[in-house]
Structure 1
Amino acid sequence: MESMNFIRVASACPVTRVADIPVNIENIKKCIAEALDQQAKLVVFPELCVTAYTCSDLFLQKQLLDESERGIEALLTYSKGKDILIAVGAPLNTQTSVYNCAYLLFDGRVLGIVPKSYIPNYEEFYEQRWFTSGKDIRNRTINLPFQKEIPFGVDLCFESGAVQFGFEICEDLWSVVPPSSFLSLQGAQIIGNLSASNEVVSKSDYRQSLVSAQSAKCMASYVYAGAGTGESTTDVVFGGELLIAENGNMLQKNKRFQRDNQVVSSLIDLDRLNLQRIKNISFREAATTLPWTARTVSFSFKNNNFGIFDRFIDKHPFVPEDAKQREQRCSEIFNIQATALAKRMQHTGLRKAVIGISGGLDSTLALLVITKTFALLGYSRKDIITITLPGFGTTDRTYQNAISLCKKLETDFREVNIVAACLQHFKDIGHDPDVHDVTYENVQARERTQILMDIANKEGGLVIGTGDLSEMALGWSTYNGDHMSMYAVNCSVPKTLVRYLVNYVAEEETGAEIRSILLDVLDTPVTPELLPKDVRGKIAQKTEDIVGPYELHDFFLYYFVRAAYPPVKIFYLAKKAFADCYDEETIRKWLQIFIRRFFAMQFKRSAIPDGPKVGTVSLSPRGDWRMPSDASRSIWMTEI
């Protein structure tokens, strides 16, 4: 996996002079050189950039058409020995018609010529005056003075190894069914658009939304190159917009209205695009409705180098980096959780909820969800039965936070100390209470769950689970202890996001007194508090000291489940994302532990209670994740 299945693509806008083909060719060459310096494997140029888009009736002049042909030949000569696919726009004169085309050049050859399908002839566009539609051209070849039998048509896919490229031209994207839809269904993961879209107020926003949406619909990368400021301004202005999107995400864009050569590039993740297509049944089914079969034109890149790894890799992929987006995400998730629980409460006919409160993050979030739910249903908070269950490791800080929060929220607060019951159970099973092993810890977790379940039966209530997605991935729960509940509201919320959700509620949905408690909960280390306190009465057991940093595990989880990357690629990305936080050996250590625990603990995930999916990753066996509980992890461990 030398390249980790990344490929760099570029979008370019050369300085253009209308009908001055030698000048245009020189600037196209400069942009190719810049794309090569960035180690791009594809560079897409604007529509008709060899001649300029705004030549109008000059497109009917043989002199212009012949000179354009010579310009293509000059670019072919320049491309020899260069390891880059070049998509350049120029007219094609077939003696009977002129087509607006994308020429695909590689290493001294024209690999193929793709004509524009949809020729706009409305508002400021008059292309049908000069150009013929190519939408019905398939299975054809064409001869040029310098090369014979060149594949010609809209049915062309260009393939090098595992990557396929397809191309369309400007208005094609604006059509109801863009040609790129057909091309992507036949394998093209990267779509190039050679465009000349003029600028009017707000058109850029619409253009960007089109590019982003088409990349999402096609589960592809979309590389868009727009004509620039050198075009004629007789009636319109062109801004030279350059866009690179991937599966709905805008990876790169330039600043419009520049007056020099522009090249932007970005790394494209082929693995991610391929997985989305494999998983999406609708994508596969749509391929059965294709009106024609693409012709594949094969060529070979000399190497897979993509240059500097400059793609942004978020340390916290579950948490939006932008504060406003983060607030919106938290608001939406909080409402999903409350709506889900409200439906379950109404369906069961129960008007009471039972929850164990530890003073930690997860139970705090679950309680806040219950409070929101009861407000939605018009139920009394007095019917929220909150129970703190202090044991051998409970510290004053978490204990006081639990009490304070429950009382401030005006719930039916109760306390059940589990120490005596656990000591009795140790005696019953013959366990030495001085041996602080897994039995010592799990007895406490199961005792707590038993009490919650029994009180729920007695009161006619629903036990609400508090465990989160990260704990589920790692199996960090006691089977039939905190692993079990009657409805689990946090089950698809990762630990890195739990903090932001609690903080969101603290800042947006509570008063000052409750806010101060929540902020202290946020400041408390994550702990199960199952081992005795230290001599100072402080927390002796910190979860992240045992299983590792949750920010790493959430990163691993996202890319293992959501992207289905092999561990070697996850490790590669983690090194890039956490370079300023952890060394390679630390990342490798916790990744190995993540894989070991993820495989070993599937049996717990195979038997979990209902709960709402709130994001892109869920481990519910009834939802996104189905995995045998006894699958071997050996092949996932070999390359780390």
Structure 2
Amino acid sequence: MGHLMILATCSLNQWALDFEGNLERILESIRVAKQRGATLRVGPELEITGYGCFDHFLEGDTYLHSWEMLGKILEFEEARDMLLDIGMPVSHKNVKYNCRVIIHNCKILLIRPKMFLANDGNYREMRYFTAWSPARYIEDYYLPRIIRNVTGQTVVPIGDAVVSTIDTCIGVELCEELFTPNSPHISMGLDGVEIITNSSGSHHELRKLYRRIDLIKEATLKSGGVYLYSNQQGCDGDRLYYDGCALIAINGQIIAQGSQFSLKDVEVITATIDIEDVRSHRGMSSRGMQAVNANSYHRIKASIALSSEKINFKPHFSPTKPIKEHYHTPEQEIAFGPACWLWDYLRRSKTSGFFLPLSGGVDSCATAVIVHSMCRLVVEAASNGDTQVIMDMRKIIGEKEDSDYIPTDPKEFANRIFHTCYMGTVNSSKETRERAKKLANTIGCYHIDMNMDSIVSSVCTVFNLVTNKAPRFRIDGGTDAENLALQNVQARLRMVLSYLFAQLLPWVRNKTGSLLVLGSSNVDECLRGYLTKYDCSSADINPIGAISKNDLRKFIDYAKNEFGIPILDEFLKATPTAELEPFTHEYIQSDEADMGMTYDELSIFGKLRKIERCGPFSMFSKLVHEWGTKLRPEEVFRFQNNGLT
């Protein structure tokens, strides 16, 4: 008896530089954790400032306001008798660090800087911060006056230390440090640290959650211990989506898991653990042999016991049981991740909705269906009484006569905020026009249909007047340069028209505001360069910009049944085509023919280049083995050159 403790971690939808809003969400998470009996609460990385502040992390104001907010957290009455792990940037000796601040009863116990910074892919932490070094080193940090007046402290420790409570020991592992080969949890676990906290700003990526959970399970299975994972949620004003999914694990088993895709601003998960289970798990003699040789961490003493007699002597009160971790399929990830991000971006932008050029092809179709999924999520949240979603939704629609409006139908809501347009030319087919119209009618968006031949003709006429030359398509005897230029002018004019309609369609409908233009260019085409610069790939945001064509097609097939949209089957069966050249009985433009490869083959190039980081030679070597049964090495070489140009 006497070893049960309730621990809390959370996902917060923090906004870059929204200090007061971020503070309120932090306080709410503390309030909820306290109500559930938690004695330790962990929050996301850089939760006071928001993760996506970019070069504002180089400004002194960001650090000043962070201390002001921390002062209010220290004084928060409901935070008493709890150990709090708070994230903020800290400047020490004129060096900027990404830090965790551990506080208890209006005192700062430790400032723990991040030791391994994320600096690849989407992350550039070394631009703003310096990694703390060396390991297990601490020194004095002199607090600013605004904090001295609150805590009565002048100096607190900063560095790589751990916190020792009356009944256990707690260490910090910050986001990227979990993914490094020699993670701090290994050395901390050998030194007797029993609870590891991890505060992250980890963005959503297809199939990434598997790796995250596997690492957490492995860390606690091999080393033993409790692991509390907290993550940022939402877009943070950035073009990334942080996917939440707070986790609590013990000894290799997940015992609590938050939602990965949610419109909630604050989500707290708690679990009851028996710290004796950790000690029992660590009873193997081989661990003891390594532990006696482990270097020690400086221990910061905290006069708090995380276990409580209130729960230890409560009848029928027991530790939280292990659960089977939940994963979404990639198709569900596409349905919910970009949809949550779109809603977050829309409400922060203070615009009135979205505008999408709807071509009748798979890519723009997928973008439209993602917006439809967003509308479904908003309606569901509103029907469940989510006051924040309802308030944001009413601000977006901006109709005073509908001040009590609550959406009940995704199609009706889509008609208010989602606008699509088919921008046809003489090269467009009846089939794509009809598909676009049917899809728009099915999901309920406000749809317009137009021909832009007169605009294209006018631009070509100007060129003819200036140069006395009239470009022709290839089938009319034109050169490759003429043929490509005539295709590109159609695509670029669609971008110009998109922004015109995005600015004025709300006015046309007697509404206020403007619209965000959505792009619909998939990652394969971006890697290949199969797009027109400054065409419809140029947009305010592109929900499918990191998704391959193959994954998009699987998503469309999933949405056909899950969302009840049978018209999507027609999109899947259609041949991908830009419809920028005249078609005849002998020739119909095809994306795969233009690229000189199929989308299946293109996806292999994408994986080799982006995931396996292959250069031309190593890519050729792998493709020789991959395609050796159907192509000779010289044919692979020619094919590869075609794909990389």
Q: Which has the larger radius of gyration?
A: 1
- TM-score, normalization: structure 2? 0.46
Q: TM-score, normalised by structure 1?
A: 0.47
